[in-house]
Structure 1
Amino acid sequence: MNETPYHVHLVSDATGETLTSVMRACLVQFDGVPIIQHRWWLVRTQGQVDRLMEGIGRHPGLVVFTMVDPAIRQALEERCRELGVPVLSLLDPVMEALARLSHSKAHRQPGLQHTLDEGYFDRIDAMQFTLALDDGQALDRLSEADVVVVGVSRTSKTPTCMFLANKGIRAANVPLVPEIDPPQVLLDLKGPLVVGLTRDPRSLSDIRRNRLRIMNEERDTTYADLEAVEREVTAARRLYTRMGWLVIDVTRRSIEEVAATIMQRLAMMRGETGL
């Protein structure tokens, strides 16, 4: 296998989130291919184009950009052609298709997706809500949630809720504790979507054991004991079935996949056609 690295330059007139996500999705399909990423964010002036071209000149390679300002992107494309490096606009195919569909023109204004609009403040509100109702806190506000995530310890409840909050979804989570009945307010809940997370007991036992090791917790405990974990998981699943809650096995799913499943079900509840 060729060990010489390939250089890829990611150029954005905003925060680069779109480029970063797309590149991450693409690179996992090229396992073992050595790629060095160079990130150039908030490129909005000719002077910034000059500086990034110096970097591209030192490490020639594929240039992928999401710049929308016509003058700045033209300067970038012309300079790349002069250097003989390939250059690709990530947004053009979709924007052109939307323009044809809607018979309208794009604004071509950098950073519009990050403006302080209503959606932005919804996300901030959701994040504050999720932090306030993390790990069974403020149960009296549970009915205000869009989604309530339930599960035994170490089933990724908090990271899932934080991901949902970043999408503007008010998510709360309630832990299931052995030998303790679930809070009645949870069992009586009517409005929010309730989701029960579960995990393979052996995998969960390993995760808990590693957690104890990291915390230097050496006392005798059933927290990571496989038989005890199996009983916890079984009891949790019986509760989910009895309550008719959506059940998601997180054993082989990423946080993003779990959240996507929840958002899809939430959209169906709300009568929406998409996420």
Structure 2
Amino acid sequence: MGRHHVNLHLISDATGETLIAASRAVAAQYHGVCAIEHVYPMVRSHAELEKAIVEIEAEPGIVLFTLVEQDLARRLMEACAAIGAPSLSILAPIMSLFESYIGTAVTPRPGAQHSLNADYFRRMDALNYTLTHDDGLQSDSYEAADVVLMGVSRTSKTPTSIYLANRGVKTANLPFVPDLPLPKSVENLRNPLIVGLLASPERIVQIRANRLLTMNADPESPYVDRRLVAEEVAQSKKLFDARGWPTIDVTRRSIEETAAAIISLHKLHKMKFISAA
């Protein structure tokens, strides 16, 4: 069965991240469908909207939008109806639900979720911390972290750390190296949640082999020896179990799924930490 291509026009008065995430989540449910994304961010005037409408006319498809200005939303829906392109406001049903429950009409504020508020600066602070505490750097200041990730090489520590930072979670990560003792600064950490990341030896070997290939390195390196990798993983798990640190097997998990599990663990960790204080 061949892939069916669908034009997907995503029109936003902000960055378009909400639309992209929502549309990809839905498109992933349709096997054999390839969505060709046309993204139009920061559409806040009629002139900008008309440019998008011209492109929709040229390549008709599904139109999803997050336009809180009613005049713009109305014009887009009318244009889509004339073109024959189905359109949907992603925020409208949610805003309607909020309004019916709260009993207050919405106050349109394009891009409000990206305002420079305390949450924004918290995320930027977390990202700065995470970037400066990657791969074992500055381990003497891990006490300021919310989460410390540990695992053998190629268990997605860095990308998971960055994803968590974008959610406002200060994250440091530390590689597990067989027979190498933990830094003394890590021995008695109290504030951060320490999570061990695990993966099957086969998966780690596959990722490491691809990395060696991109580096034009020796493909017969011990770095990709299946027996040695299995021993690395076993030693890391033994350490995590001995310390009572929670573990997550990332073999078949996406970065987003791993991060979601860590955030849930961190919430429980904070509750225990507060109750023990």
Say if 2:150 and 2:195, in contact at 8 Å, map to a contact too: yes
1:27-79 Cα deviation digits (max 9, x unpaired): 11112124322211111111122221111111122211111011111111122
Asked if 1 retains the 8 angstrom alpha-carbon contact of 2:178 and 2:236, the reply is: no
Output the CA distance in 1 between the equivalents of 2:23 and 2:192: 35
Find the aligned partners of 2:140 and 2:119 in 1 and give their Cα distance. 26
Q: Does 1:81 align with 2:84?
A: no
Whether the aligned pair in 1 keeps the contact of 2:198 and 2:233 (CA below 8 Å) is: yes
Q: Is the 8 A contact 2:8 2:36 kept in 1?
A: yes
Alignment partner, residue 184 of structure 1 = 184
> How do residues 107-126 of structure 1 correspond to structure 2 at under 5 angstroms?
107-126=107-126
Please say if 1:51 is aligned against 2:51: yes
Query: Are residues 202 and 36 of structure 1, via their aligned partners in 2, closer, same or farther at CA, if it must alter by over 3 Å?
Result: closer
DSSP-derived class of the 1:63 partner: strand
Instruction: Note if contact 2:213-2:219 (Cα within 8 Å) is conserved in structure 1.
Output: no
Q: With structure 2 as the length reference, what TM-score do the two structures score?
A: 0.93
Equivalence map 1:164-203=2 (5 Å): 164-203=164-203
Change in 2 beyond 3 A, CA 1:3/1:200: closer
SS of the aligned residue for 1:179 comes to coil
* 2:154–2:204 CA contact under 8 A, matched in 1: yes
Read off the aligned partner of 1:114 and give its amino acid letter: H
Partner of 2:212 in structure 1? 212
SS in 2 for 1:134: coil
SS of the counterpart of 1:174? strand
Q: Judge which range, 29-38 or 89-98, deviates more.
A: 29-38
CA displacement at 1:4 relative to structure 2: 6.2
Q: Secondary structure of 1:15's partner?
A: coil
Q: CA separation in 2, counterparts of 1:186 and 1:173?
A: 11
Q: Give the residue type in structure 2 aligned to 1:257.
A: E
- State the 1:219 CA deviation: 8.0
Instruction: State which drifts further: 189-198 or 49-58.
Output: 49-58
Closer, same or farther in 2 for the Cα pair 1:247/1:3, shift >3 Å? closer
Alignment-mate amino acid for residue 224 of structure 2: A
RMSD (Å) for aligned C-alpha atoms? 1.7
Residue 133 (structure 1) aligns with: 133
Change (3 A) 1:141 1:192: same
**How far off its partner does 1:2 sit?**
7.0
Q: Is the 8 A contact 2:2 2:32 kept in 1?
A: no
Q: 1:106 to 1:196 in 2, by over 3 A?
A: same
Once the two structures are TM-superposed, the CA of residue 271 in structure 1 deviates from its matched residue by: 3.7
Mapped to 2, the partners of 1:220 and 1:116 lie a distance apart of: 50
Using a 3 Å threshold, how does the CA distance of structure 1 residues 34 and 128 change in structure 2: closer, same or farther?
closer
- What letter matches 1:92 in structure 2? A
Query: TM-score of the superposition, structure 1-length normalised?
Result: 0.94
Measured after TM superposition, the shift of residue 200 of structure 1 is 0.3
Indicate the residue corresponding to 1:230 in structure 2: 230
Paired residue type of 2:252: R
Unaligned runs of 5+ in 2: 273-277
Q: For 2:145 and 2:262, locate their aligned partners in 1 and report how far apart those are by CA, in whole Å.
A: 13
What is the percentage of aligned positions where both structures have the same residue? 41
1:214-259 Cα distance to aligned partner (Å, 9 max, x none): 2122286422111111111011001110111110000000111000
Describe the SS at the equivalent of 1:148: strand
Please state if 1:7 is matched with 2:14.
no
Query: CA separation of 1:110/1:134 partners in 2, compared to 1, >3 Å: closer, same or farther?
Result: same
Please give the secondary structure, in 2, of the residue aligned with 1:39: strand
Letter in 1 for 2:152: V
1:265 aligns with 2:262: no
Change in 2 beyond 3 A, CA 1:5/1:212:
closer
Report the counterpart of residue 275 of structure 2 in structure 1: none
SS of the residue corresponding to residue 135 of structure 2 reads helix
Unaligned stretches of 5+ residues in structure 1: none
